[in-house]
Amino acid sequence: MLAIIGGSGLTEFASLEVSQRKRVSTPYGEPSAALTFGRIGGRPVVFLARHGDPHGIPPHQVNYRANLWALAECAPVGIVSVAAVGGIRSGLKPGDLVIPHQIIDYTWGRESTYHEWPDSPVRHVDFSEPFDPCLRQSLIDAAEATGAAVSASAVYAATQGPRLETAAEIDRLERDGAAVVGMTGMPEAVLARELAIAYAAINVVANYAAGRGDSRQGISLEAIHGVLDASMHRVRAIIERMLSAND
Protein backbone atom coordinates (compact mmCIF):
# COMPACT_ATOMS: atom_id res chain seq x y z
CA MET A 1 0.00 0.00 0.00
CA LEU A 2 1.23 3.49 -0.84
CA ALA A 3 0.55 6.38 1.55
CA ILE A 4 -0.17 9.84 0.19
CA ILE A 5 -0.14 13.01 2.25
CA GLY A 6 -2.08 15.69 0.45
CA GLY A 7 -1.42 19.34 1.08
CA SER A 8 -3.08 22.58 0.02
CA GLY A 9 -5.02 21.94 -3.16
CA LEU A 10 -5.10 18.18 -2.64
CA THR A 11 -7.51 17.33 0.14
CA GLU A 12 -8.95 14.45 -1.85
CA PHE A 13 -8.23 12.25 -4.81
CA ALA A 14 -11.04 12.02 -7.37
CA SER A 15 -9.73 8.73 -8.76
CA LEU A 16 -9.57 7.18 -5.29
CA GLU A 17 -12.28 4.56 -4.85
CA VAL A 18 -12.80 4.89 -1.13
CA SER A 19 -13.34 1.71 0.81
CA GLN A 20 -13.06 3.07 4.34
CA ARG A 21 -12.50 6.27 6.29
CA LYS A 22 -10.96 5.59 9.65
CA ARG A 23 -10.39 7.97 12.56
CA VAL A 24 -7.39 6.74 14.50
CA SER A 25 -5.50 7.94 17.50
CA THR A 26 -1.80 7.53 18.24
CA PRO A 27 0.47 7.90 21.28
CA TYR A 28 1.09 11.43 19.93
CA GLY A 29 -2.52 12.44 19.56
CA GLU A 30 -4.85 12.57 16.60
CA PRO A 31 -3.73 12.88 12.99
CA SER A 32 -4.97 15.84 10.94
CA ALA A 33 -7.92 13.91 9.51
CA ALA A 34 -9.39 10.46 9.15
CA LEU A 35 -7.27 8.05 7.11
CA THR A 36 -8.92 7.34 3.79
CA PHE A 37 -8.33 3.83 2.49
CA GLY A 38 -9.11 2.79 -1.03
CA ARG A 39 -7.75 2.03 -4.46
CA ILE A 40 -6.41 4.14 -7.28
CA GLY A 41 -6.47 2.21 -10.56
CA GLY A 42 -6.95 -0.95 -8.49
CA ARG A 43 -3.87 -0.32 -6.30
CA PRO A 44 -4.28 0.09 -2.55
CA VAL A 45 -3.55 3.49 -1.05
CA VAL A 46 -4.09 5.33 2.17
CA PHE A 47 -4.60 9.08 1.95
CA LEU A 48 -4.25 11.72 4.64
CA ALA A 49 -5.14 15.41 4.30
CA ARG A 50 -2.23 17.18 6.01
CA HIS A 51 -4.15 20.31 6.92
CA GLY A 52 -7.34 18.50 7.92
CA ASP A 53 -10.57 18.05 6.05
CA PRO A 54 -11.81 20.69 5.60
CA HIS A 55 -8.43 22.38 5.21
CA GLY A 56 -7.73 24.51 8.28
CA ILE A 57 -4.70 23.39 10.32
CA PRO A 58 -1.77 25.76 9.76
CA PRO A 59 1.67 24.26 8.97
CA HIS A 60 3.17 24.94 12.40
CA GLN A 61 0.21 23.27 14.14
CA VAL A 62 0.02 20.12 12.07
CA ASN A 63 0.56 17.12 14.34
CA TYR A 64 3.29 15.63 12.16
CA ARG A 65 4.16 12.96 14.71
CA ALA A 66 0.59 11.69 14.84
CA ASN A 67 0.25 11.87 11.05
CA LEU A 68 3.38 9.86 10.35
CA TRP A 69 2.71 7.40 13.17
CA ALA A 70 -0.81 6.73 11.92
CA LEU A 71 0.47 6.12 8.39
CA ALA A 72 3.30 3.90 9.66
CA GLU A 73 0.73 1.68 11.34
CA CYS A 74 -0.61 0.92 7.85
CA ALA A 75 2.86 -0.44 6.92
CA PRO A 76 3.02 1.46 3.63
CA VAL A 77 5.69 0.74 1.00
CA GLY A 78 6.36 4.47 1.01
CA ILE A 79 4.91 7.90 1.59
CA VAL A 80 4.46 10.45 -1.18
CA SER A 81 4.03 13.96 0.09
CA VAL A 82 2.25 16.49 -2.09
CA ALA A 83 2.82 20.12 -1.14
CA ALA A 84 2.62 23.61 -2.56
CA VAL A 85 5.80 25.69 -2.63
CA GLY A 86 7.00 29.10 -3.67
CA GLY A 87 9.52 29.15 -6.51
CA ILE A 88 12.87 30.75 -5.71
CA ARG A 89 15.27 29.46 -8.37
CA SER A 90 15.25 31.49 -11.53
CA GLY A 91 13.34 29.65 -14.25
CA LEU A 92 10.81 28.11 -11.88
CA LYS A 93 7.33 29.49 -12.42
CA PRO A 94 3.84 28.92 -11.03
CA GLY A 95 2.47 25.56 -12.15
CA ASP A 96 5.90 23.91 -12.37
CA LEU A 97 6.40 20.57 -10.63
CA VAL A 98 9.45 19.82 -8.52
CA ILE A 99 10.73 16.61 -6.96
CA PRO A 100 13.18 17.94 -4.38
CA HIS A 101 16.37 16.07 -3.50
CA GLN A 102 17.50 18.05 -0.44
CA ILE A 103 16.09 20.02 2.48
CA ILE A 104 17.21 22.93 4.61
CA ASP A 105 15.16 23.24 7.77
CA TYR A 106 14.36 26.75 9.04
CA THR A 107 11.41 25.70 11.19
CA TRP A 108 11.51 25.97 14.96
CA GLY A 109 9.57 24.71 17.95
CA ARG A 110 8.00 21.75 16.15
CA GLU A 111 7.92 18.27 17.66
CA SER A 112 10.47 16.75 15.32
CA THR A 113 11.47 13.43 16.85
CA TYR A 114 9.90 10.36 18.39
CA HIS A 115 12.86 9.95 20.70
CA GLU A 116 12.47 12.20 23.67
CA TRP A 117 13.93 11.74 27.10
CA PRO A 118 12.98 10.15 29.43
CA ASP A 119 10.54 8.01 27.45
CA SER A 120 13.07 7.14 24.79
CA PRO A 121 16.83 7.63 24.69
CA VAL A 122 18.37 9.97 22.13
CA ARG A 123 18.62 8.67 18.58
CA HIS A 124 20.57 10.36 15.78
CA VAL A 125 19.25 9.24 12.39
CA ASP A 126 21.27 9.60 9.22
CA PHE A 127 19.54 12.29 7.20
CA SER A 128 22.26 13.07 4.64
CA GLU A 129 19.79 12.19 1.89
CA PRO A 130 16.39 13.22 3.26
CA PHE A 131 14.37 11.65 0.43
CA ASP A 132 14.28 7.99 -0.53
CA PRO A 133 16.18 7.65 -3.83
CA CYS A 134 14.03 4.79 -5.18
CA LEU A 135 10.73 6.49 -4.42
CA ARG A 136 12.05 9.74 -5.93
CA GLN A 137 13.11 7.88 -9.06
CA SER A 138 9.67 6.25 -9.32
CA LEU A 139 8.10 9.70 -9.22
CA ILE A 140 10.53 11.03 -11.82
CA ASP A 141 9.93 8.05 -14.12
CA ALA A 142 6.16 8.35 -13.70
CA ALA A 143 6.30 12.06 -14.47
CA GLU A 144 8.27 11.33 -17.62
CA ALA A 145 5.78 8.65 -18.64
CA THR A 146 2.88 11.08 -18.29
CA GLY A 147 4.75 13.74 -20.25
CA ALA A 148 4.73 16.11 -17.27
CA ALA A 149 7.87 18.23 -16.96
CA VAL A 150 9.43 18.11 -13.49
CA SER A 151 12.56 19.60 -11.96
CA ALA A 152 14.21 16.59 -10.40
CA SER A 153 16.87 18.43 -8.47
CA ALA A 154 15.91 21.11 -6.02
CA VAL A 155 16.75 22.11 -2.48
CA TYR A 156 13.57 22.59 -0.45
CA ALA A 157 13.67 25.26 2.26
CA ALA A 158 11.21 24.54 5.09
CA THR A 159 10.04 27.75 6.74
CA GLN A 160 7.93 28.16 9.82
CA GLY A 161 4.92 29.99 8.45
CA PRO A 162 2.08 30.51 8.54
CA ARG A 163 3.06 33.89 7.13
CA LEU A 164 4.83 34.01 3.79
CA GLU A 165 8.46 35.15 3.73
CA THR A 166 9.91 38.61 3.28
CA ALA A 167 11.79 39.34 0.06
CA ALA A 168 15.03 39.55 2.07
CA GLU A 169 14.38 36.14 3.62
CA ILE A 170 13.94 34.69 0.14
CA ASP A 171 17.23 36.33 -0.94
CA ARG A 172 18.86 34.60 2.00
CA LEU A 173 17.29 31.24 1.17
CA GLU A 174 18.54 31.61 -2.39
CA ARG A 175 22.06 32.36 -1.14
CA ASP A 176 21.76 29.20 0.95
CA GLY A 177 21.04 27.27 -2.23
CA ALA A 178 17.27 26.74 -1.92
CA ALA A 179 15.24 26.37 -5.12
CA VAL A 180 11.79 26.21 -3.52
CA VAL A 181 10.22 27.19 -0.21
CA GLY A 182 7.41 25.50 1.68
CA MET A 183 6.19 25.15 5.25
CA THR A 184 5.49 21.46 5.77
CA GLY A 185 8.44 19.39 4.53
CA MET A 186 9.91 19.38 8.03
CA PRO A 187 9.58 17.60 10.34
CA GLU A 188 7.52 15.34 8.08
CA ALA A 189 10.55 14.00 6.21
CA VAL A 190 12.64 13.28 9.28
CA LEU A 191 9.80 11.58 11.14
CA ALA A 192 9.34 9.26 8.16
CA ARG A 193 13.08 8.54 8.37
CA GLU A 194 12.86 7.79 12.09
CA LEU A 195 10.07 5.35 11.30
CA ALA A 196 12.18 3.86 8.46
CA ILE A 197 9.53 4.58 5.82
CA ALA A 198 10.59 5.60 2.31
CA TYR A 199 9.50 9.21 1.78
CA ALA A 200 9.56 11.46 -1.28
CA ALA A 201 7.81 14.67 -2.22
CA ILE A 202 6.23 16.23 -5.23
CA ASN A 203 5.94 20.00 -4.99
CA VAL A 204 3.72 22.27 -7.01
CA VAL A 205 5.11 25.77 -7.50
CA ALA A 206 2.07 27.81 -6.51
CA ASN A 207 3.66 31.26 -6.77
CA TYR A 208 6.90 33.09 -7.27
CA ALA A 209 8.50 33.41 -3.83
CA ALA A 210 8.42 36.86 -2.22
CA GLY A 211 10.29 39.49 -4.21
CA ARG A 212 10.49 37.28 -7.33
CA GLY A 213 8.56 37.52 -10.60
CA ASP A 214 5.06 38.92 -10.21
CA SER A 215 5.35 38.49 -6.43
CA ARG A 216 7.40 41.69 -6.41
CA GLN A 217 3.98 43.37 -6.21
CA GLY A 218 2.87 41.07 -3.38
CA ILE A 219 1.58 37.52 -3.31
CA SER A 220 -2.04 36.87 -4.19
CA LEU A 221 -3.61 34.01 -2.25
CA GLU A 222 -6.35 33.85 -4.84
CA ALA A 223 -3.79 33.35 -7.60
CA ILE A 224 -2.13 30.59 -5.54
CA HIS A 225 -5.41 28.70 -5.30
CA GLY A 226 -5.99 29.14 -9.02
CA VAL A 227 -2.57 27.68 -9.82
CA LEU A 228 -3.07 24.74 -7.46
CA ASP A 229 -6.51 23.97 -8.91
CA ALA A 230 -5.08 24.04 -12.41
CA SER A 231 -2.01 21.93 -11.57
CA MET A 232 -3.19 19.11 -9.34
CA HIS A 233 -4.44 16.94 -12.21
CA ARG A 234 -0.79 16.52 -13.30
CA VAL A 235 0.20 15.48 -9.77
CA ARG A 236 -2.65 12.98 -9.67
CA ALA A 237 -1.65 11.59 -13.07
CA ILE A 238 1.95 11.11 -11.90
CA ILE A 239 0.87 9.26 -8.76
CA GLU A 240 -1.58 7.12 -10.72
CA ARG A 241 1.17 6.24 -13.19
CA MET A 242 3.59 5.47 -10.40
CA LEU A 243 1.10 3.11 -8.80
CA SER A 244 0.44 1.28 -12.05
CA ALA A 245 4.17 0.92 -12.72
CA ASN A 246 4.81 -0.57 -9.30
CA ASP A 247 3.03 -3.84 -9.79
Residues in contact with ligand HPA by the rule CB under 6 A = 84-86, 159, 164-165, 181-183, 206-207, 209
Tell me the pairing of strands 97-98 and 78-87: unpaired
Are 235 and 82 spatial neighbours (Cβ–Cβ below 8 Å)? yes
Q: Measured at CB, which residue is nearest to ligand HPA?
A: 86
User: Please, what is the minimum distance in Å from the beta carbon of residue 183 to ligand HPA?
Assistant: 5
Of 104, 90, 110, 83, the residue nearest 191 (C-alpha) = 110
> Which residues have CB under 8 Å from 59's CB, separation 6+?
51, 160, 161, 162, 183, 184
Cα 3 → chain centroid: 12
Q: Does 159 carry a binding-site annotation?
A: no
The smaller minimum CB distance to ligand HPA, of residues 141 and 171, is found at 171
User: Please, what is the minimum distance in Å from the beta carbon of residue 196 to ligand HPA?
Assistant: 28
The smaller minimum CB distance to ligand HPA, of residues 198 and 202, is found at 202
User: Please, what is the minimum distance in Å from the beta carbon of residue 35 to ligand HPA?
Assistant: 24
Q: Does 114 carry a binding-site annotation?
A: no
User: Please, what is the minimum distance in Å from the beta carbon of residue 219 to ligand HPA?
Assistant: 6
Bridge partners, 37 (sequence order): 20, 46
Binding residues are 8, 50-51, 183-184, 207-209
